[in-house]
Structure 1
Amino acid sequence: MSVPSPVIIWCDGSFENDNSYQSMKDEFNETTTGTPTQDPDAMDVSILNDEMREFHSNNVPLVVVRTIDDAKKKINEHINDKVFIICSGTMGRALVPIIAENYPTVQDIYIYAHDLALHADWAMKYVQMIKMFDFHTSLLIRLTRDISKWYIEQGKLYSQLDDPISALKYFQQAHKLEIEANRRGETEWNLPGTTTRLRPTAFLTRLKHLEGEHGLIAQAENAIRAGGLPVQNS
């Protein structure tokens, strides 16, 4: 069985331009797949040739849209899925109020803007549902960990339903994302001379919760073996 995934909808009108946020797109691809982009133009082509095209990375579909109408369309298409939204500050100004009014189940919105102060006027009204970033690596780390948290929650639900096979798949997926988030944090945070961005140290908690003799992964594996079934590696 494949693990049902959340969906990321990335909304930014600047994707109409060649090489818009190319380095961020490449880093997102590397973060979610664990491997660098082989062709620097490949991701750009897949996005810009067709705004409705989806690509899959690390079992998490990422949908890129350029307009408010397309964003609403994609949210409606995935209304029964767990949805994470990334959008520019400019698009967020228009899109976030629409989401707040019409899509109460969408509660994870990530705003990326070079100057966050320009968006304080509208963003303050939605502090419970948006997270704002002016540094794309910190956005990617936070998003990766939030998706990992969702996987862990789903795995616990399946454990309660006495379905350790499904639970294990969720826990394994969360484990991959936590390792990748930590790797990204180690390489990008606390660069020499950096004083404003300190690498968070508290995020080993989930790894410890997943790993080890009594961790969630081991608990699911033991439950599978107790049922007389083989354990499948991730």
Structure 2
Amino acid sequence: MPPNGINELICCFENNVALIHFVSTIDDALTLIQNETDKMIIFISSGTLGQVIIPTIVSNYTHVHSFYIFCTFIEYMSEWALERKYETIMKMYNHETDLLIRLVRDASNDLIKLGQSYMTLNDGESARKCFVTAQTLEIQANTTDTLHAPLLVRLKLLEGDNGLIQKARDMR
């Protein structure tokens, strides 16, 4: 991994998707969630904090989209999540780089879907913006993820003469 790979992923996400807010207490996290009711929230926490706060969030705040958990004991957290039926909304990682790469790739996938919905509305410019942002995220994830072969499926979908970016440009 490049020396500043984690920082580059965080900056790429913040510059292209959304701001990342850091909090240090459960009360601060709940206050932030309460104050951001008009936004889709992606919650990232440790496993220990997640066990305490996620049940409250799931019960009270439907605008929290998903949970990314950074933990050492994934097996234990997986059992905990399965017992509460959280497996569809929680993703767990034991390495921060893996978590951030998945977050960036998930955001890219969501942007591609959003861009495709703009295409059905014949809004090529909005679709193009989504697709270009998804492309940027995929390139950064591939650059940072030096342990695995580059993931090219989405880039192939986006790029080239018959790619989604070009199709969106052609709609203008």
Task: Sort the TM-score into its range (normalised by shorter chain).
Answer: 0.7 to 0.9
**Which residue, out of 33, 38, 45, partners 2:11?**
33
Taking only the aligned residue pairs, the percentage that are identical comes to 38
- Alignment gaps of 5+ in structure 2: none
**Which residue, out of 10, 34, 38, partners 1:76?**
34
Q: Mapping of 1:35-50 within 5 angstroms?
A: none
Distance verdict in 2 for CA 1:72–1:114, change over 3 Å: same
Cα-to-partner distance string for 1:51-89 (whole Å, 9 max, x where unaligned): xxxx94335211111122221222223222222111011
Of structures 1 and 2, the one scoring higher in RCO (CA 8 A, sep 6+) is: 2
Please state how far the C-alpha of 1:176 moved relative to its aligned partner: 0.2
Length, aligned pairs only: 167
Q: Which amino acid aligns with 1:30?
A: E
Report whether the alignment pairs 1:170 with 2:118: no
Q: Which amino acid aligns with 1:206?
A: R
Q: What is the aligned partner in structure 2 of residue 21 from structure 1?
A: none
- Alignment gaps of 5+ in structure 1: 1-25, 35-54, 190-198, 225-234
**Which residue, out of 156, 166, 169, partners 1:208?**
156
> Using the alignment, how far apart are the partners of 1:32 and 1:166 within structure 2?
24
Tell me if structure 1 keeps the 8 A contact 2:39–2:63: no
**Which residue, out of 73, 78, 84, partners 1:115?**
73
> Using the alignment, how far apart are the partners of 1:56 and 1:131 within structure 2?
20
Distance verdict in 2 for CA 1:159–1:77, change over 3 Å: farther
Report whether the alignment pairs 1:154 with 2:132: no
TM-score, reference length from structure 1: 0.65
> Using the alignment, how far apart are the partners of 2:36 and 2:106 within structure 1?
18
> Using the alignment, how far apart are the partners of 1:27 and 1:70 within structure 2?
28
> Using the alignment, how far apart are the partners of 2:7 and 2:98 within structure 1?
15
Q: Which protein is richer in helix relative to its size?
A: 2
TM-score, reference length from structure 2: 0.86
Q: Which amino acid aligns with 2:101?
A: I
Tell me if structure 2 keeps the 8 A contact 1:84–1:109: yes
Q: Mapping of 1:82-93 within 5 angstroms?
A: 82-93=40-51
